[in-house]
Structure 1
Amino acid sequence: MRNFVFSYFTILFFSLTHTVKAQLVIGKPSLGFSQACASPSFNTYNATFTFSPETALSATNQFIIELSDATGSFTSATTIYTSAQGAVTVSPATLSFSLPNTTAGEAYKIRIKSTAPVATSVPSNAFAAYYKIQDKPFSINNLISTGAYCSGGSYVLTIDNPGTADNDSPLKYPSLTFNWYKETSPTTSVFVASGETLAVNAPGTYFVRTNYGTCTSDSYSNRVTVSEATSATTSSISSSLGNPYCSSEGATTLSAIKGNTYQWFKDGKAISGATNQMYVTNEAGAYSVAVNLGSCTTNASINLENSGFTSSIDVPEFNTINDGETLVATVTTDASNPQFEWFLNENLIASATSNSYEATQMGSYKVVITQTDGCAASSEHTFSITEPFPDVANIPNLISPNGDGINDTWVIPQLYVAGTNTEVIILSAQGKVELQTTNYQNDWPQNQINFKDINPVYYYIITTSNNKTKKGSITVVK
């Protein structure tokens, strides 16, 4: 009987001891942040909690952090951290966790659970949490800065997709949502609607942001100004490679605003078959498009350049210098890290590598500018240097091209030669145009004239830049 009583109290003692040890109280988690704005480059957050008594923990215990849904409910909680068995034994404890990449809301909570013994804390305070899976500017409306709608209609703004290296479209991420805004000033705006598209039926400037709530973000679009179309309304054209674009990178895509039908033009002439919203080209020029919006139309234009940079030279195309004189030519350019090559009569001048060159010889000069950073583009400028034309007083009516060096060519006053923008025309007796130029070099005739029984007669017409005209004849003798 005594052994039975002893065994009974022994079992009861161990049972009560085990029951007391199984009781564990976990305090409310304290957050080490006020909001969680996670991203691929940062996603680590801390939570601190207490538990008591420490002796209640089993050697196999694990602490778990659970994340509620965006409303604070733990009905479908997500486990975002699990400690190793027996790793946490001292109270208070601080644990680090990361957010799922689908996190998006303003009222998340976490709670702490233990496995041995089983216990659960009360939820933490609510906090805003977003995983910014896309956090770069993106484009809408094909980067076209304008849009137009007919009276009583609307113009639909759309986030561009698919994403590329130049446009990381947020539409690639199905978990994201979007908020559209209308500008009220250069620095303020008002919320308009949510969604991937926006139908605009009121004039204004609009843009869209990825909905990351109270978290700041760089995930926003370009601005688009939308207006009601009238007879005078014009829209704009975008170039996928910019303007000027780098022709060495291939063709650029010109895009117009959305409409029902399109007709593209280049330099004022309709481009056959160019009737889509986009037109691909690798040629510079003045492009325009007529867009039919349904009950009204709008037009757009762009002066497309493909040099990649601009440059100029400070000397005219035709120059004269006397013996012992020089001419300094200087190039100005916005090319990135430019390289300069100078040529005389198509021969490279090896020592000339700067943007200036001091010319001392007569001949035809050329400078080639090459952009060595970014767009691999180049351009060139040409000019010539000759001896000064002889300063004769009158226009001669007789020449003798016999090779004796005297009166071999028709030499006219300096008032009418190259550099004066004077047009010189020489006609045969039959009315055939033998020469027509605005750059006369005192060098006619350049080819041998076939003499027959009589000395041929030619006729000249000289028209100056201010439209004054001189006419006469030229008799050619041996």
Structure 2
Amino acid sequence: MKKLCSTYSILVLAIAFVLVGSFSAQAQVLYQPVPADNPNLAGNSAWTAACASSSFNEYFVNFRWDPPMVGSDNEFILELSDANGYFASPTELARVSDKNGTFDFEFEFSLPTDTRGENFKFRVRSTSPAKTSPASEPFSMYFIDYNYPLLISENGSGSIPSGGLIQLCGGGSVTLKPHNIPNANTYIYNWYRSGTLLAEKSESITVSEPGMYYVELDYGDCSGSANTLSNTIEISTGTSSGLAINGASNIEVCPGETHQLEANVSGLGLTYTWYKDGTVVSGPTVDASTYTVDASINGFEGSYAVEIDGANTCKELSEAVTVSSPGSFDVTQNNEQNIVLLPSQTKTLSVATTATTPAYQWFKNGSAIAEATSSSLVINSVGEYHVEVTDNGGACEAAPLSSETTTVVAPESFEFVIEIIGSYATCENTDATLSLSIINAVGSNGSKTDVTSELQNSFAYQWQFDGAPLAGETSKTITVSSQEENGGYILKGTIDSFNATSNNLQIKLASNETLTISSNGTVYCEGGDAIVLSTTKDLTNESFSWKKDGVALASTSEALTVGEPGVYQLVIDTNECPVVSNEITIQAFDDSLLVLDNSENIILVEGDSQTLTANGADSYEWYDAGNNLISNSNAYDFQEEGEYLLIASFGTCTISKIITVTYRDMFAIPNVITANGDGINDLWVLPNTYSRDPNVLVTIFNERGEQIFSQSGYENNWPQSTTAFNKQSMIFYYKITRGGRSLKQGTITVIK
């Protein structure tokens, strides 16, 4: 029998050696990935083109591979080529690490948002060992990031012509371009003329042939589903009439005179539209082939053109002619238009002009002022003043040009407006700067004139705090920087016999003091030690309150005992602006605060170890089955089976966890034993799962079905020394049950 077992062992080893050698000579085979059906959609067919968008971007490919097995740390990676099918810089679409024992599976992936092209391919790489599958067939793949109808117009101006018609005259051309798509130059386009696809692929197209033009974004096989087809522009052609404006291209008209512009095409019942500097000034009007320029109207100078339109003619715009004045000049005012004149004051008004030989005449309230004929005028009374300038040296007859009117008023009073410079919020800022912003002269009728720039350096100033003057504060600006200065501020000023008073600004500054509270814990549990909030600030003479979740509590104690979870603060009321402490959040005690990185039931291979890590608590204690403290760390490395206790502390609250460690069975139930007394394989030995468990019943029957052995808590002791075997090989049957429920059953061959 010993010789038989020895021969059997040698045979098994030989077969294993052959198999290992065979597999070691064989390499994994990665097959070409192919499109697969989407299980989340109706139907059962694989995709032929990937047309993704923001509302749908879910695709699957099938991948197969053949053993030998890959490494346990292997990952399969799905990669996408560039638009030309090259993998010089592939894009990773998906990565899986849990398919190392699955030879046929699907990758799920989404298209990157910049995917646009007709020849994308994909492939699969493994990392352990490093191998690459053949590339797939090429596919049309597009991420449709714009799927609205395009709108096209001339040069993308956004102005679609009436009826969608554009006429081209005399061999002209027009550029069509979409005007409602962002980043238009990043797309490829399909342009059509009367249903025929054109060669142009850019965002604009210049056309001269008649036809119906429209465009769509070129999304390849996905173009139809993108819904980007544009409006249609009809291009028609005709013969130019040679439209022009008769006469010279540069015309000079003296002030006060008129000049008639005339089109060279007339009397055909056409409509005429006249333009000045590109803006319509007349029409469209039938047979209005002339337009009169009136030089008595200020600003008549400019570029004039005419456009014709009508039945059986080509819409056409003439070249522009320039109309100017040889005697034109400018008059510029050198002073403010609104002036406040104080008693006994004088002011000087003046103008500058570009006239060649200017003559001046000043007016007050519409009447000429005697002997006021220079470019400046000294005034000492209120009224409305302007000057007329005449150029006596120009090519045209003298025509006066008036300056703007200056209004001079005498104030009834003055008022100041003060404001805070920069950002300011009540009881948030720790300083504030106040400054004069406006000085208004108030007229007898209540009208106000801003005279800040003229008089701000002429007033004498004094700041007041809560009605009392502030010593030394006599400028236009004041800075407040402490809570003791909280209150109302007014700026007063004097000039001549006038007194001015500002609005009242209330300033409330926050304290510079930092108020800090602390606690002896942050987790609240019923029956645990009390959580107490306190501060090092002496509150004896302070008005204060404790707040929970922003609501004041009734407690007047300087130390607060927390009665429930919430967000707590301490607030001291001082100088109308509270001093607010930091926040402390007290959490409700919850078992979920303790997080374990693995199961509480650990199965070990005998001789190995496994670490269990806990997080979330303040401290940890690990105990073995004998209640011995074995660690204070947040992690413990288990090496032996048994029951362990973890106590996690959260302030004064604790959580206890029982950790059970058992050994994993490393062998199957044997079906052959050699009861020859050599001490090797003489007994039927069961895995730990079924042996020595008092709840597990092991029963053995002979070949006639007669029960010959039955034991709870089987001790791996069959066959017993008294058992006799009268044949060379005998077959027995076994059944393993727990609580009457069958766990395993099979045969045992006993070889003598």
The answer to whether the superposition gives a TM-score over 0.5 is no
Q: Greater relative contact order (Cα 8 A, min sep 6): structure 1 or 2?
A: 1
**TM-score, normalising length: structure 2:** 0.28
Larger Rg: 2
**TM-score, normalising length: structure 1:** 0.43
